[in-house]
Amino acid sequence: MSARRVCLAFAAAIAVASMPFASRAADPQEIVIGSILPLTGPSAQTGAGLRTAQTLAADLVNGHVSYPLPMVGKSGLPHLGHARIKLVFADSQGKPDQARAAAEQLITQEHAVALIGTYASSTTATASQVAERYGIPFLNPDSSAPSLTARGLKWFFRTTPNDATFAENFYQFFADLNRTKKIAVKKVAVVGEDGLFGTGAGDAEEEIGKRRGFTIVTRVAYPATTTEVNAEVQKVKAAAPDVVMMASYAPDALLFMRGFKDQGILLQGILAQDAGFIDPGFVKTEGKDAEGVFTREVFSLDIKHRNKAVPLIDQLFRLRFGDKPLDGNTARDIMGVLVLADAIDRAGSTKPDAIRTALQNTNIPGILTLMPWKQIKFDAQGQNVGGVGIIEQIQDGKYETVWPFDVAVKAPIWPMPAWKR
């Protein structure tokens, strides 16, 4: 059977598993997981992808076709009578106050046994404080501000690596380029939105850069809701950096790319903390000007040989999301739902304490993830200690893994190409 026919057969199987409750005979119990995402506002397109990814993950758990991923194909949660998981979504609008209200609603009105979300670090911070107050487990698959796991919270768990890990990756990349290609990077500009994501990433990039002997020539912060960045771009130009490290969501990432081009800023490299730079619309909008941009990542389709489920899950996702491929954001959210379902099943209970204990005891081998991770295992602060990063570069309109060199599929192009006119 061809890969596409296998994919379609699998899609049909999980479609049956996800039929409405009333249409299936002898349905087992449904267990509600509350999901908070930016479904409207500037990050709505990203939020739509994350919602599709999480829904697919829930259908994989509730379905009966097995692949090498946690909880996939077990027809629900075996230790809870094959109860099905049901995601109930709430909109953060990308706003911390709205995320706080969404968490309150999901816990008190929808009776969610656990929460997942919320993409932006600033909204994750407020929503997880509500979960902490109610004593409800909160699984964060996709927010990377290092401070999120430094708050001493009892109920917060994060599967993705944080921005300190990714910042270390950037500087190790420079060291490896210097060792192999005799390329020297000395001057770094740090640019990011002024929320928890951009601030946390920038702090890590600045601190690690100085410790490694680099010169941080400027640090630029701006509101993620801004509609123009001329002053910020001029500040970068005046500092004349070798490279710029960016932490931006989709709208502001596009504003800076246009500004760098319009002001003719010549850079050896743009290195992004993914987010807006891996948004499905980034390459489509930037076209040839996207060529050569680097971004840290946690997932790439070009290293799919590590887990045979990757191409199938990618095909299933494309069927649901307008032929857009899995990316780091959507792959992380699929894994987040699977990890949470695995914990609820091992808990054998919907009681918060039991689910929290199961999350603390999580130990999933890296080979059973979509990522090139070593494992999923949480430390005392709720941070996954097995997460690692990779670096991709946009080459010929595609994201190609270029670092670490032992898993890279393409050599990095350095410096990045000049702007297209």
DSSP code per residue over 355-369: HHHHHHT--EEGGGS
Q: What is the pLDDT of residue 23?
A: 41
Q: What is the pLDDT of residue 26?
A: 46
Q: Which of these, 51, 113, 117, 107, lies nearest to 85 by C-alpha position? A: 113
**DSSP secondary structure code for residue 249 in this structure:** -
Q: In the block, which residue shows the tokens 């800076």?
A: 256
CB distance 46 to 197 below 8 Å: no
Q: What contacts 233, CB < 8 A, 6 or more positions away? A: 256, 259, 260, 262, 263, 265
Token pair for 114: 């656990």
Q: Could you report how far apart the first and last alpha carbons of the chain are, in Å?
A: 47
Q: In the block, which residue shows the tokens 């130009």?
A: 237
Token pair for 3: 């890969």
CB distance 298 to 160 below 8 Å: yes
Q: Which of these, 72, 78, 142, 129, lies nearest to 102 by C-alpha position? A: 129
Residue 135 has a CB neighbour count (10 Å cut-off) of 12
Crossing angle (nearest 10°) for helices 328-347 and 352-360: 120
CB distance 261 to 287 below 8 Å: no
**Residue 227 half-sphere exposure toward CB, CA atoms < 13 A:** 0
pTM of the model: 0.82
Q: What is the pLDDT of residue 59?
A: 97
Q: Which of these, 90, 76, 121, lies nearest to 275 by C-alpha position? A: 121
Residue 365 has a CB neighbour count (10 Å cut-off) of 14
Q: What contacts 28, CB < 8 A, 6 or more positions away? A: 76, 80, 81, 82, 83, 84
Residue 97 has a CB neighbour count (10 Å cut-off) of 11
CB distance 252 to 278 below 8 Å: no
**Residue 372 half-sphere exposure toward CB, CA atoms < 13 A:** 21
Cis status, amide bond into 218, omega within 30 of 0: no
Angle at alpha carbon of residue 406, lines to 402 and 409, rounded to 5°: 40
Strands 294-297 and 390-395: antiparallel
Q: Which of these, 124, 130, 126, 128, lies nearest to 143 by C-alpha position? A: 124
Per DSSP, helices labelled H in 212-308 are 230-239, 250-262, 282-286
Please name every residue paired with 215 in a beta bridge, in sequence order, or none if there are none.
187
Strands 390-395 and 243-247: unpaired
Please report, in tens digits, the pLDDT of each residue of the chain (421 residues total): 444 555 555 555 555 444 444 444 445 599 999 999 999 998 899 999 999 999 999 999 999 999 899 999 999 999 999 999 999 999 999 999 999 999 999 999 999 999 999 999 999 999 999 999 999 999 999 998 889 999 999 999 999 999 889 999 999 999 999 999 898 899 999 999 998 889 999 999 999 999 999 999 999 999 988 899 999 999 999 999 999 999 999 899 999 999 999 999 989 999 999 889 988 789 999 999 999 999 999 888 887 767 889 999 999 999 999 988 898 899 999 999 999 999 999 999 999 999 999 999 999 999 999 998 999 999 999 999 999 899 999 999 999 999 999 889 999 999 998 886 5
The amino acid occupying position 206 is: E
CB distance 222 to 246 below 8 Å: no
Cis status, amide bond into 415, omega within 30 of 0: yes
CA distance 167 to 271: 10
Strands 390-395 and 187-193: unpaired
